[in-house]
Structure 1
Amino acid sequence: MTEIDDTFRLAIAQANPTVGAVGKNLAKARQMREEAARMGADLIAFPELFIAGYPPEDLVLKPAFQAACMAAVEEFSRETDDGGPAVLIGTPWREKEALFNSYCMLDEGRITAIRHKVELPNYGVFDEKRVFQVGPMPGPLNFRGLRLGVPICEDIWEEEVCETLAETGAEFLISPNGSPYWTGKHDVRVNVAVSRVVESELPLVYVNQYGGQDELVFDGASFGLHADRSRAFQMAAFTEEVALTVWSRESGEWRCTEGPSVTLADTEELTWLACVHGLRDYVGKIGFPGVVLGLSGGIDSAICAAMAVDALGADKVHCVMMPYRYTSEESLKDAAGCAKALGVPYDIVPIAEPVEGFNAALKDLFSGREADVTEENIQSRARGTLLMAISNKFGPMVVTTGNKSEVSVGYATLYGDMNGGFNPIKDLYKTEVFKLAAWRNENRPQGCLGPDGVIIPPNIITKPPTAELRENQKDQDSLPEYDVLDAILTRLIEDECAVHDIVADGFDEATVKKVERLLYIAEYKRRQAAPGVKITRRSFGKDRRYPIINAFRDPGDPIPDFPEETERLYRFEE
């Protein structure tokens, strides 16, 4: 093999693996290596744990899965004796009783080096300490005369690994990642990478995964930095591709002379794409033929329908209007208009008979009691049952449509509008839903399969939200205005603020305490909710894990600054 002299041709595989699909992931790696070979690359680098798919969670503890991953890497290594590019690829790797998150160099028909991840993340959506052992501090690996450091994902979020690599002679850093998207994440990644570059005085290439996996969606957006912190290259977000970067050594310093230079989209577009790609991969990787959802004429179902069409195409999205006596003509018109604009199959299935059947069955048991939320929930559950029946009969997955504001305070019905397999807007507050709907009417991002132009009727965006489960019902009958509610929820959920601090920001104390109470008591509902795309720093599910039985309520008093020795004695009383 030709030694690396003063030119290094590195291909970046911004790839979309499927967790557990070892053979499929290997086939994708082969295809991408062939593409890199046509580009004349010396080396192609894949994301973290690519062969297994990321994150594999407890699947990685299964010995048969470990063996399949290792065998795939061994098989792939034998194919590198063909004179084509060498490969850096991530995989679980077992050594005796220890299981590591590892990165392997494949070259000259064999595995020439293996490095193990040192810093195992154990916060937020990550719990790698549960399944992997900490690797030994790594040194650089020798690639055809070039000394490469390969800090794996979290290894660049702390100083020690990159510092060790620099001290032991690394000339160039390639960091494979499985870094999921949330709003503002790209800036966070770049700031971390800049810190490591400043400390090591080495160029760094950040190789990130793309694609959806359960609640997580990976945006790719791989990039490189020169040793002077300047941007070397930038790949697009939410695309699967192989990009060639060409590096030249001048006066002992590596500079990128060829590579992609993409300007990343604004927040609204990235958020829309995250929801669309998360839904697309959830449906596609599991193997559903399409989706079905209830189209009520409201904003949440309309935006979910639009996202579903952008993700899957109109022919794979079935919308169903399920009217009852409280459904307005306005809602019927808006739902029909949305379905027409999206070009989706659309049916109307009235729910009067099943609802009245339930009411008749319960008439004697409920005798003497006034109608209340019980009868409202029967309507919602009748709709949920009908959607599940359509799913069972024809095969599409039910998309559920509750936003984060509603899910936070329990403004949703278990086994009713919470029915479904996936929720693309689960982590979007209501105010964000309105903003995104208006944005999509004016923009059609690249890769989206829906039509241009206005696809959500403007009246859906401007009219007051209502569940239409009783006469003249409006959401704000029982909830604060959404701009107030969302501001309070953001402080309670994303920032874990105390009630006292939220009140100090100008919010009514009684309202804050009411919202906090609703947030806590709805935890049991959220535990039974469908998964949905993570957009914020603290999504429900893997991120924010509160107990269902939870008697704590913030009294709203300033939190005293206790001495350490007495802090353990302090308890709030209900």
Structure 2
Amino acid sequence: MKIAIAQLNPTIGDLANNAKKIIEASQFAANQNARLLLTPELSLCGYPPRDLLLDPSFVKSISIELQSLARKLPSQLAILVGIVIPNPCAYLKGEKPLFNSVAWLENGQIKQIFHKRLLPTYDIFDENRYFEPGQQSNYFELFPDPQSSTSVKIGLTICEDLWNNRNFWKRKYYKYDPLEDLLQVGVDLILNLSASPYNIGKQKIREKMIKYSSKHCNTPIIYVNQVGGNDDLIFDGNSFAVNKKGEIVLRSKSFEETIDFINLKVKNNDLSLSRINDEIKIEEEEIWLALVLGVKDYVRKCGFSKVVLGLSGGIDSALVAAIASEALGPENVLALLMPSPYSSQHSIIDAEVLVKNLGINHYKLPIKDIMKSYDTLLESLFKGTEFGIAEENIQSRIRGSLLMAISNKFGHLVLSTGNKSEMAVGYCTLYGDMNGGLAVILDVPKTRVFSLCRWLNREREVIPHSILIKCPSAELKPNQTDQDFLPSYEILDEILERLIHRHQSVSQINEAGFDLITINKVIKLVAGAEFKRKQASPGLRITDRAFGTGWKMPIANRWKTNYS
């Protein structure tokens, strides 16, 4: 039995075009004589729809589109489509109003509906807000072809349903394990329809877990995942299949829409070897592809075609410019060079060389005269005070205003260029360099910015070498460097990794070789910068602990970390 795996890139709420993608995939699959087509979780409406689910007209439109879709699909093909449907018992039983479901479509009809059983409520997930968990084990029987006398019993899981194997995780996160329940009814094949967001190393965990499950259950598993960017989330695809022995027999491409095929040998109910695309082994390449896809989809799905960014001659804006150029084409990227009297000549030259290397459009707007007008206007009010952070931030805010003027005049989306290290400790200016519609490298620490640029230069010099070797500086006053205020980025990023990602205590970080004064300073800076993070642009997520949807720290609080 030939099975098609459609790794699709839906746009949230674009029901008609999402349905069109499913129709096109089904026609292609039918032409290849497939019997079954798999699509990702919530493939008809896109994942995650968030509070669109509170709009009754949105939910009703999904139902109407599903009915229409069923009539347009090839009759000889069974298709599994991710949908949202109302819970008819919600008001009678005090349950949640909706189900996260999958519809089995065939011969112009909706043959069966299956409900997701495990609803995640951690990190970026908040499914209990909207959905009622399904209570029954999900499986169906499918005849491989019209002449078959024996059917294949297929178990269906939706994303999180497959992530509660107590033997693999050494504990259970939920009361029920849908996988165990499917084994009780004796399924021949297990499917998993997912919308699993990307973070560094996620695919290795998925493959390890599902290989373990298939081997110990002696049952083949096919996993199909959404691909593409939706707001701050990036979905990497990486759909794959494993046989009864826990061996990978198919792997789709990363970060691309694909349709792949695999055969289920009905005689022994196992999967044949199919195309196995190479896994990405270099993290920098994986991150690069994720960020490029994230920018491309955010710009496209938000209705923009061109972007603008400030180019300082520093490494952060250089990387963002390179990502944008790759994602959108250099002709759709405008770089503003906005030197001040404190901008070094080598930074101006570096920015001009980068523009030439990338082939992007640029315009130079010196801000010296604007700075003087501010000085004149504020002279009487600031009389008797020393030059300090207020004057430094004015420069940044001038640049932010110019970027927004370009955005308003020409309809370009502003890309902000701050990195995760800066955002963590508040080394950034509200309404200045934080201005923007998308923070491209908000989840990329400074040390990783350097490694990405070095990787990008592996074949030719894209990022000028002089940018890679100079001391990072905001250049808002003479001879300024970031390390006038911060620890070295190697030390800072390691402390932030331990604090934010590993949730280590002060004593644990201290035992790892970091001095208490530095640790305490970093903790204080992180806590004090929360009000800035709440006002930041959406930032693309590449780690399992990003300053975005899953970050839910209070701004006003008096908790003091025990520094001892």
**TM bucket, shorter chain:** over 0.9
| Residues 460-483 of structure 1: CA deviation (Å, up to 9, x unaligned) | 111100000000000011100000
Residue in structure 1 matching 2:296, options 269, 275, 280: 280
Q: Does 1:416 align with 2:432?
A: yes
Q: Structure 1 counterpart of 2:81, which letter? A: I
Structure 2 residue 527 is the aligned partner of structure 1 residue 520: yes
Deviations 1:134-161 (A, max 9, x none): 1112241122222111110000001410
TM-superposed CA distance for 1:199, in Å, is 4.2
Q: What is the identity, as a one-letter code, of the residue corresponding to 1:151?
A: T
For residues 368 and 290 of structure 2, the distance between their equivalents in structure 1, rounded to whole angstroms, comes to 37
Distance (whole Å) between structure 2 residues aligned to residue 285 and residue 150 of structure 1: 30
Map 1:355-434 → 2, pairs under 5 A: 355-434=371-450
Question: Could you report, residue by residue, the CA deviation over 1:420-442 in whole angstroms, capped at 9, with x for unpaired residues?
Answer: 00011100100000000010112
Q: Structure 2 matches for 1:442-453, cutoff 5 A?
A: 442=458, 453=460
Shift of 1:265: 4.2
Structural RMSD (CA): 1.2
Q: Contact 1:236–1:264 at 8 Å: present in 2 too? A: no
Q: Does 1:39 align with 2:32?
A: yes
Is the CA contact 1:309–1:342 (under 8 Å) kept in the aligned structure 2?
A: yes
Cα offset for 1:259?
3.5
C-alpha displacement of 1:23 = 0.7
Distance 2:37 2:504 in 1: 45
Map of 2:93 onto structure 1: none
Q: Which amino acid aligns with 1:204?
A: I
Question: CA-to-partner distance for each residue in 1:272-304, whole Å, 9 max, x for gaps?
Answer: 111111011000011112100000000000000
Counterpart CA distance in 2 for 1:84 and 1:238 is 30
**Aligned partner of residue 112 in structure 1, secondary structure:** strand
Partners of 1:384 and 1:482 lie apart in 2 by: 25
Mapped contact 2:84–2:98 kept (Cα < 8 A): yes
Match of 2:78 among 75, 82, 86: 86
SS of the aligned residue for 2:182 comes to helix
Which of 3, 17, 21 is residue 10 of structure 1 equivalent to?
3
1:489 and 2:496 correspond: yes
Q: Which range moves more in the overlay, 11-20 or 363-372?
A: 363-372
| 1:219-230 superposed matches below 5 A | 219-230=236-247
Structure 2 residue identity aligned to 1:459: S
TM-score by length of 1: 0.92
1:245 Cα deviation after fit: 1.2
- Counterpart of 1:155 in structure 2 is 161
The question of whether the paired residues in 2 share the 8 Å contact of 1:204 and 1:224 is answered with yes
1:205 partnered with 2:222: yes
Q: Could you say which residue in structure 1 is the equivalent of 2:130?
A: 131
In structure 2, list runs of 5 or more residues that go unmatched: 91-96, 144-150, 166-176
Of residues 45, 48, 57, the one that matches 1:52 is: 45
Cα pair 1:248 1:257 within 8 Å, conserved: no
SS of the equivalent of 1:487 reads: helix
Given candidates 180, 195, 203, the residue that maps to 2:197 is 180
Greater CA deviation, 198-207 or 167-176?
Answer: 198-207
- The equivalent residue for 1:542 is 549
Q: Say which SS state the counterpart of residue 442 (structure 2) adopts.
A: coil
Aligned to 1:114: 113
Shift of 1:399: 0.3
Equivalent residues in 2 for 1:247-326 (5 A)?
A: 247-250=264-267, 252-326=268-342
TM-score scaled by length of structure 2: 0.94
CA contact 1:163–1:199 (8 Å) conserved in 2: no
2:38 counterpart letter in structure 1: A
Deviates more, 1:482-491 or 1:64-73: 64-73
Q: Which region of structure 1 is more displaced relative to structure 2, 254-263 or 104-113?
A: 254-263
| Unaligned residue ranges in structure 1 (runs of 5+) | 1-7, 444-452, 558-574
* Contact in 1 for aligned 2:152/2:266 (Cα 8 Å): no
Contact 1:247 1:257 in 2 (8 A): no
Distance 1:33 1:259 in 2: 20
Is the 1:247–1:258 contact (alpha carbons within 8 Å) kept by the matching residues of 2?
no
Q: Does 1:95 align with 2:111?
A: no
In 1: Cα distance, 2:209 partner to 2:65 partner: 32
Are 2:213 and 2:246, in contact at CA under 8 Å, matched by a contact in 1? no
Task: Give, in angstroms, the shift of residue 79 of structure 1.
Answer: 2.7
SS of the residue corresponding to residue 457 of structure 2 reads helix
In the aligned structure 2, how far is the partner of 1:357 from the partner of 1:550? Answer: 39
**Equivalences for residues 442-481 of structure 1 within 5 A:** 442=458, 453-481=460-488
CA distance in 2, matches of 1:262, 1:68: 39
Distance (whole Å) between structure 1 residues aligned to residue 288 and residue 411 of structure 2: 26
> 2:351 & 2:23 partners in 1: Cα distance?
46
8 A Cα contact 1:274 1:535, kept in partner: yes
In structure 1, what residue type is equivalent to 2:125?
Answer: F
The letter for the 2-side match of 1:36 is: A
Aligned residue type for 1:544: W
1:26 aligns with 2:27: no
SS of alignment partner, residue 151 of structure 1: strand
Q: Number of residue pairs matched?
A: 539
Identity of aligned residues (%): 42
Query: Which residue of structure 2 aligns with residue 554 of structure 1?
Result: 561
Q: Report the Cα distance in structure 1 between the residues aligned to 2:82 and 2:483, rounded to whole angstroms.
A: 50
